[in-house]
Structure 1
Amino acid sequence: MLIYIITSVFLHITTWVLSDVSRRPVFDGTLRWTDTRHPSADIKAVNFKLRHTLYHNHTSSGCRSGIRFSARPLPLTALASFPGTGNTWTRHLIEQMTGLATGSVHNARILRSVFCGEERADNTVVAIKTHLRYPSNTFTPDKVLLIIRNPYGAIVANFNRIYSGHPKGKAPTEAWRKYWLSECRRFRRDWLPFYKSWLKADHLMPVVYENLLDNLEKELARILSFLGVPGDVLRAVADPEGCFHRRNTSSSLQHYTPSQRRRINKIIDHTHDIFSKRFSQEEFGYNIKNWKV
């Protein structure tokens, strides 16, 4: 009888645990435009537990050579970006020049082998990737690096990533035929709300993707100064590419119809306006209107 009771209790607990896990949100890393919106309260609970479980685990055994978690608490620095604007590449550059792991509120399985801080959003990582709008329920940043890129390149880069399954892959022809128009519509819906939300954050520095391409050493020096940690910019300059940087986007414009170009040009004008309210041309270091075609 006692064995029967123990067995019944064990089976009941096991069933409850499995059903609880099945109800939890899963970050699968395949972020689409719609994923920039606020996460649910359930995600807040999962991330709260995640942060406080991992905070005291400083082991860097899962990190690639030369990368480690910080043994002292660091400020919570958001590395915020719209999908397709170069977050993964920027993470690589930051890790190369600081020797510290970057984290993420997402869990992209394909990135785990390169970024040991994937799914970690605590004070042991130097910056935390997020594609969510501000404020989100995942963590409250002390400061923000906000990445922005020419949307003509960003939309194509994200489309290729989604429909190829790899950040450097190319979407098949059939995907362009079936899904390109809907992805452009999602972009037009979500781009401005995403950047408007993050421009409300305090202690924010914009990072322009095109500035990284044109003057890598100077831009990395700005980022390193903002992060406030020791580092060596030349270490990143010596190995700038990483595993996921897509260099050639010269054919991006061929995918856009005249109607799409008019709409995106209008969004670029609005983007210029909202950034100009917060930063001067000298502070921003780039003329957004140059993106128009």
Structure 2
Amino acid sequence: MVLTKPKVSDKSKTEVEGVNVGWTNQCAKAQPLGYRKIVHLVGLGFIMCFAYLASISIINQSGQIHLLLENAANGNLSYSSISPAQHSQAPNFPSIFRQPPITAPQQQNTTEWCQPLHFKAEPGPVVALASFPGSGNTWFRYLLQQASGIMTGSVFKNLNLLRNGFPGENIANGSVSVIKLHKTTIQRMEAFDKLILLVRDPLPAILAEFNRQAGGQVGYAPPWAFKENNGERWGRFVYKRGVSWEEMNLAWFSHFSPQNRLIVFYVDLKTQTEIQLRRVLTFLNIPVRDAMISCALARRQGLYHRPKRILHFEVFNSSMRQTLADHKRRVYSILGKPATFEKKPLNRT
């Protein structure tokens, strides 16, 4: 018996083939559609990524704009009379700190100087102007520049100061009269030949620094900042900075010999400005000229003076006052200054 393959009718074959052909056609049609979807999804991903990066850029730019507006409100947007070319032509003295140079915008400065500011004729000792933040370092530099005509330097890169009367900002070598800094490290102290230590009472110094951090160079902390979290934030700031104030002043004082250090108290600089300026100029071996001293006294106010503001509450409680008084007593006893204390409420910020 011979087995034969059953025959499939043409109709059945057509139906089967039709099903196969139809399924194949549907797959063929689906492939281009899926490819387009993939392309669309990839494109959408690129668009979302671009939008995210653009939003980050806008946020950064808005932050810079906010900073510019804040500086403008504080009156900090006037500029240095030293052009970028002049700033880049500082004498090629070795810098004690390696920092990239700053290019100052070529704008007109509104500060009137007793004489045009200049570098030292010859490099001299590298002199630190050390102080706890909020102790009047910027005002001291301003007075010294008026009385001497020589630029003061700094280890910082404050563009507002660079543009507004301090063309020696970010210069830290013997070409400037003094170099501003705050931090205390053995490495930094050993980089200097001499020291001017500017000391201010810890209460107003800490308050000034709190205002600066919250409100800018001549701004204020908002009243609610002192009461935030029931005053916890402000309290932590006071106690921590009180310890730093004592440690910083004693470290700098003890590191330099008596012949290489000069102590200037902020209160004396305010009440005996002429006497203190003459002391400083003599210590720096800068000629003392009566005409320059008189000119500096006539322009003693400066641009970075924070005007007084009266709050309707006491910012330092009794515990804060006692703690800071203890810090002050220990420091002033070593520095040879009688420790007097303000008894009336300190609500002027």
> Is TM more than 0.5 here?
yes
User: What is the deviation of 1:117?
Assistant: 1.0
In the other structure, the counterpart of 1:259 is 319
Please state whether the residue corresponding to 2:196 is helix, strand or coil. Answer: strand
Structure 1, unaligned runs of 5 or more: 1-45, 55-60, 277-285
Please state whether the residue corresponding to 1:254 is helix, strand or coil. Answer: coil
CA distance in 1, matches of 2:303, 2:275: 22
In the other structure, the counterpart of 2:11 is none
In the other structure, the counterpart of 2:143 is 93
Does 1:79 find its partner at 2:129?
yes
More moved, 215-224 vs 230-239: 230-239
In the other structure, the counterpart of 1:188 is 242
Structure 2, unaligned runs of 5 or more: 1-94, 344-349
Structure label with greater radius of gyration: 2
Q: Is this contact kept in 2: 1:133–1:198, CA < 8 A?
A: yes
Please state whether the residue corresponding to 1:112 is helix, strand or coil. Answer: helix
In the other structure, the counterpart of 1:14 is none
**Runs of 4+ with deviation above 3 angstroms:** 46-51, 61-65, 136-139, 247-253
In the other structure, the counterpart of 1:275 is 335
User: What is the deviation of 1:292?
Assistant: 5.4
Q: Is this contact kept in 1: 2:155–2:179, CA < 8 A?
A: yes
CA pair 250-72 structure 1, distance change in 2 beyond 3 A: farther
In the other structure, the counterpart of 1:228 is 285
In the other structure, the counterpart of 2:71 is none
Please state whether the residue corresponding to 2:314 is helix, strand or coil. Answer: helix
Give me the identity figure in percent.
30
Q: Is this contact kept in 2: 1:85–1:209, CA < 8 A?
A: yes
CA distance in 1, matches of 2:330, 2:306: 27
CA distance in 1, matches of 2:312, 2:283: 32
Q: Is this contact kept in 2: 1:76–1:123, CA < 8 A?
A: yes
Please state whether the residue corresponding to 2:98 is helix, strand or coil. Answer: helix
CA pair 86-122 structure 1, distance change in 2 beyond 3 A: same
> In the alignment, which of 201, 206, 217 is matched to residue 263 of structure 2?
206
Please state whether the residue corresponding to 1:136 is helix, strand or coil. Answer: helix
CA distance in 1, matches of 2:278, 2:313: 31
CA distance in 2, matches of 1:128, 1:147: 12
Does 1:49 find its partner at 2:98?
yes
User: What is the deviation of 1:93?
Assistant: 0.4
Q: Deviations over 1:54-105 (max 9, x none)?
A: 9xxxxxx998661112231021111110001110000000000110110001
Which gives a bigger RCO, structure 1 or 2 (Cα 8 Å, sep 6+)?
Answer: 1
Does 1:156 find its partner at 2:203?
no
> Matches of residues 57-206 of structure 1 in structure 2 within 5 Å?
66-113=116-163, 114-137=165-188, 140-165=191-216, 167-178=217-228, 179-200=233-254, 201-202=256-257, 203-206=260-263
In the other structure, the counterpart of 1:35 is none
Q: Is this contact kept in 2: 1:105–1:138, CA < 8 A?
A: no
Please state whether the residue corresponding to 2:188 is helix, strand or coil. Answer: coil
User: What is the deviation of 1:182?
Assistant: 2.2
In the other structure, the counterpart of 1:25 is none
Please state whether the residue corresponding to 2:303 is helix, strand or coil. Answer: coil
CA distance in 2, matches of 1:108, 1:181: 28
CA distance in 1, matches of 2:312, 2:243: 20
CA pair 134-198 structure 1, distance change in 2 beyond 3 A: farther
User: What is the deviation of 1:190?
Assistant: 0.8
Please state whether the residue corresponding to 1:144 is helix, strand or coil. Answer: strand
Aligned length, in residue pairs: 230
Q: Is this contact kept in 1: 2:155–2:171, CA < 8 A?
A: yes
Please state whether the residue corresponding to 1:220 is helix, strand or coil. Answer: helix
> In the alignment, which of 265, 272, 276 is matched to residue 219 of structure 1?
276
Please state whether the residue corresponding to 1:182 is helix, strand or coil. Answer: helix
Letter in 2 for 1:217: E
CA pair 135-121 structure 1, distance change in 2 beyond 3 A: same
CA distance in 2, matches of 1:182, 1:208: 26
